[in-house]
Amino acid sequence: MRQCLMGRMRSITLLLMLFSSWTIFTQAQMRISPEIVQQWANDFGKQLLALTNRYSGAQLLQKKYKDIEPIVKMEEVDGLKMVKEFADEMENMLGRKMKSVKRMAETAEDADFYHEYNGTLEFDYYNAMMINTLDADGNNIELGGEFPLEENEHFNNLPVNTQQSVIQVPTNVYNKDPDILNGVFMSEALNDIFISNFEKDPTLTWQYFGSSSGFFRLYPGIKWTPDENGVANFDGRNRNWYIQAATSPKDIIIAVDISGSMKGLRLTIAKHTINTILDTLGENDFVNVIAYSDYVRYVEPCFKGTLVQADLDNREHFKLLVKELQVKGEGKVKKAMKESFKILNEAAAAGRGSLCNQAIMLITDGAMEDFQQVFEEFNWPERKVRVFTYLIGRELTFASNVKWIACNNKGYYTHISTLADVQENVMEYLHVLSRPMVINHDHDIIWTEAYMDSVLFNTQAESLLLMTSVAMPVFSKKEETLSHGILLGVVGADVPLKELMRLAPRYKLGVHGYAFLNTNNGYILSHPDLRPLYKDGKKLKPKPNYNSVDLSEVEWEDTEDALRTAMVKGETGTISLDVRGIIEKGKRVVFLKNEYFYTTIDETPFSLGIVLTTGHGRSVFIGNVSVEEGLHDLTASDVSIANEWTYCETDIDPHHRKLTQLQAVVRYLSGKEPDLECDERLLQQTLFDAVVTAPMEAYWTALLLNASGIDGGVETAFLGTRSGLLRMIRYAGIEKRVANKQGITSKTDFYILKSTCFAVDGRFVIAVTSVTVSAGKRTAVAGGRFFFFL
């Protein structure tokens, strides 16, 4: 026991780390010998040691822990058991979100079943862009009206209406189109289910329905903020959650005509069409892009003859290459079709790609050849590969040929004559690919990768929130449309990842311990080393490709990819790695032996991993004190707890949302809020830490009141415990120099102008802003910030 509690205090080593360079000035322009500098360091170390012993109070705390040895119990942490428990709790939480989405889908389908389409329907609704907006005469504008909004902490302090949803319509969609009005009227039934879901699960955030006709119903209701041009560019049909839910995973070959006839505006439209198709793909899809004229060439030669995952990196890479395409020669569509079928057939035979839908996207201004033989050889009679054709330009001379290709290969033909036509026409292929799901009523639930939806709300608070979405398709159940397979839209809900990670509390993982999540594609959902933001002036913005960071890029000591492979496969197990950890925001490196424990989260594509560090997180000691004694010390003026941790659930009952964690803990333990849901084990450890460390307040206060005063430069003393408890005291008289400056002697004198003394994990740390060192007639001045670890 004594070794566990006191092990780190047996030997004290001085490690001097300078984070800015020393600049040595000498009054006599004389060289300072290494021996003198070494003597300075030795003397400096002794004085620092004396300083830390005096102001940290470590010896008192050491004695206190020794006194309570007989009443504490050591426990070994079972990492595999712990990660499974965390995963089960996460599965339950995510399961509640899935149940909410299922209720939304069922409600929407029932509402459509009983709704009769009315082409002359007149219906007013709350348009999110127009609510609370007055005209020049002070009257509410059409589709606006008075819409009460109130700031809500649960929704990042945004003004919301938790009793009503709103409708957002993209600028390029007419907001009173009969299809829009009928869809909005039908989906009014979702209002009650939104409210009911939120009452059943108060941890829910945004709930929504994205209609195939273009409108977007959002709960709770908000005032929509357009972009700087006053345009609402957001279209739910382009979002990843909509696309993934509306279609199954797919392999796509984009074949673009770059013959001489495609010059000018046609090539510009073709490039935009390619980019729009790429934007409809996600991590579960695979893609390649080929360009053809007299011959076929791959826009990326490194991807010749294969399919690549359509992650953000690859999609952006294709866009850059497509931008450089130039026209020349004569278009040979037969060669392009042969090469496309060859790629897809070889991928299917080898078990590569999505192993689901396969399609060719043909982008051309015409097809003059006899191409029937290609389809007879590669695609008929099974027609496993769908062919979608996009006729570019105003000319319709070859429209019949291009349409024949699509119609005889279970695809879809569309004519794109302007850039404005691209978006709507490209989206049609999603409806075709969704038909088998609709006809079979495959209500597959999907989960997206991590993302920051700053587009949606255009607010700083929301843009910093990393989340995942759960979504489900909504189908028409009407008898007359079942055979056609009509997709009504997609319902979904957002899950902030920080809420999910609260189920793996830090106090259970110990110093240097952490939890992380990744997808079945190997991409990180949450990880302490995932830094998705960068500073652009005073604003924080998402980094490019922030949501396609592979696990191997942060756990880079896993050189064999053993950890990544096991988690991608959804396995359960453990692995040990020697790692170099970074702390103090990159200012220090520590060498650690980490043990990784991992398992899958059932009913989701996610895996959970936790890390316990040898010597830090594998053992815990458990103590017990009375609530009365613990509360007395917990409410001391020098005590605080980690407010970002969850000691008590304050987000379930709206009346608790304004409470800090410390306030919630005190009210729960004192019996004033017995209905709060609190972590009993964490509270037990926090109360124990409060009692054990209570003598520190009296010790530090006695130093502060000592008649001899505080040594100049000592600014703050504080300690932290594994339960998140923090004690701190600030001393006065900071800018005073220490040492006798009367007469310069050969004795080494140190003047610490400003410093902070504190303890981290059993080691004392002094942060020094500047130091002046004198020895004889020589003076050395160090400027910058230094850390001394004892």
Query: Which pLDDT belongs to residue 30?
Result: 58
Query: Which pLDDT belongs to residue 453?
Result: 64
> How crowded is residue 319: how many other Cβ atoms within 10 Å of its Cβ?
16
Query: Which pLDDT belongs to residue 75?
Result: 85
Closest CA to 457 of 420, 427, 494: 494
**Domains in the chain, ordered, with CATH?**
51-77+622-733+746-782 (no CATH), 89-243+444-497 (no CATH), 249-419 (3.40.50.410), 504-617 (3.30.450)
- Is residue 391 within a helix (H) or strand (E), and if so which, with residue range? strand 385-392
Query: Which pLDDT belongs to residue 707?
Result: 64
pLDDT tens-digit profile of 365-376? Answer: 987 777 889 999
Q: What residues form DSSP beta bridges with 151?
A: 159
Query: Which pLDDT belongs to residue 390?
Result: 97
Query: Which pLDDT belongs to residue 717?
Result: 86
Residue ranges in the chain modelled with pLDDT below 50: 1-28, 455-463, 733-790
Structure tokens at 45: 């170390």
Q: How far apart are CA 238 and CA 254, in angstroms?
A: 18
Residue type, 499: E
The string of DSSP letters for 24-72 reads ---TT--PPPHHHHHHHHHHHHHHHHHHHHHHH-HHHHHHHHHHTGGG-
Helix (H, G, I), strand (E, B) or coil at 49: helix
pLDDT tens-digit profile of 424-470? Answer: 899 889 888 888 877 777 788 999 988 886 544 444 434 457 899 99
CB 662 within 8 A of CB 641: yes
Ramachandran quadrant class, 57 (left: phi over 0; alpha: psi -120 to 50; beta: rest): left
Query: Which pLDDT belongs to residue 759?
Result: 39
Helix (H, G, I), strand (E, B) or coil at 269: helix
Closest CA to 22 of 9, 32, 10: 32
* pTM attached to this predicted model: 0.81
Overall residue count recorded for the chain in this entry: 790
Residue type, 299: V
